[in-house]
Amino acid sequence: MTIKNQLKTVILIGILTGILLVMGRLLGGNLGMTVALVFSLGFNFLIYWYSDKIALWIYRAKPADGKEYKELHKMVEDITILARVPKPKVYIIPSEQPNAFATGRNPSNASVAFTQGILKLLDKNELRGVTAHEISHVKNRDVLITTIAAAIAGVISYIGAMTRWSAIFGSNDDSGRNNIISLLIIGILTPIVAMIIQLAISRSREYIADESGAKTIKDPLSLASALEKLESGSKVPMKLGSEATSSLFIVNPFRGSAMLSLLSTHPPMNERVKRLKQMRV
């Protein structure tokens, strides 16, 4: 299942990149395609270096004190040893909603953040399962992958907006009207397709982290139990942050205002729990 989801991610990112290049080609020829590519690479570079700092700042995360959170640090360290990755920095988010996320451009520059609520809600084994899930995100470089997908989708949306404005101020003759219709189709449909693909990538990475995290600690049932508790505990949307960053978390912190499942950053919880309970490790 993990290999299948990894292949799916590669294909979807390839489609996103293809949409971006085609839009650049249609709007500006070879030069437009080159500009779109350079813009995408530059945007990805900036996000690659600063996304972790931005995410931690948005959620007011503070470093977990080594004495106060001694057991949490030990748990993270034990699981990183099992996963064979460096120990990430550990942060605490001042929120009573039970949740957690991982961020960082690579395993050597990673952080995991836990809300105060999740430390109160879960027992030791359940919290261990959540930690393994987040460490798997670090090991699999999911933050980088989802960030790249979001960046490309964002650029496509920006170009789509430019295209719509071009259509509005287009020519009034027959050829111009035909061109306007084409521009409107490109400007409206491609950003929607890009967003759906971006969200599909996010959901795929959650399945991978569930599976690889459960295998790391050889305990899928504890993670399944944790997810069930988190699903119930996160019904009230988090007061910090915004929906633009919801894909970072193990469960959607803003699902109280979520749209259709097709437009969700996370897979259906019942499906995640079902897969974990069917696992053999």
Reduced to 3 states, what is the DSSP secondary structure of residue 114? strand
**Rounded-to-10 torsion of CA 74, 79, 83, 87:** -30
Q: Which of 122, 127, 117 is nearest to 97 (CA)?
A: 117
Between 119 and 10, the more confident residue is 119
Q: How many CB atoms lie within 10 A of CB 228?
A: 16
Task: Classify burial at 236, counting beta carbons within 10 Å of its beta carbon; exposed 0-12, middle 13-18, buried 19 or more.
Answer: exposed
Half-sphere exposure (Cβ direction) of 84: Cα atoms closer than 13 Å: 2
Tallying the residues shown for the chain, one arrives at 281
Check residue 175 and give its pLDDT: 46
Q: Would you say the C-alpha torsion 78, 83, 86, 92 has a positive or negative sign?
A: negative
Most confident of 178-182, 217-221, 241-245, 263-267: 217-221
Q: What is the pLDDT of residues 194-248, one digit of tens each?
A: 666 667 677 778 898 999 999 999 999 999 999 999 988 877 778 777 666 777 8
Catalytic member of 134, 206, 211, 231: 134
- What percentage of the chain exceeds 70 in pLDDT? 57
SS3 74: helix
Instruction: Find the farthest-apart pair of alpha carbons in the chain and give their distance in angstroms, rounded.
Output: 74
C-alpha 276/C-alpha 60 separation (Å) is 32
Give the residue-averaged pLDDT of 247-262. 66
- Look up 134 and say whether it is catalytic: yes
Measured CA distances, 60 to 95, 113, 121, 240 (Å)? 9, 10, 20, 8
Mean pLDDT of the chain: 76
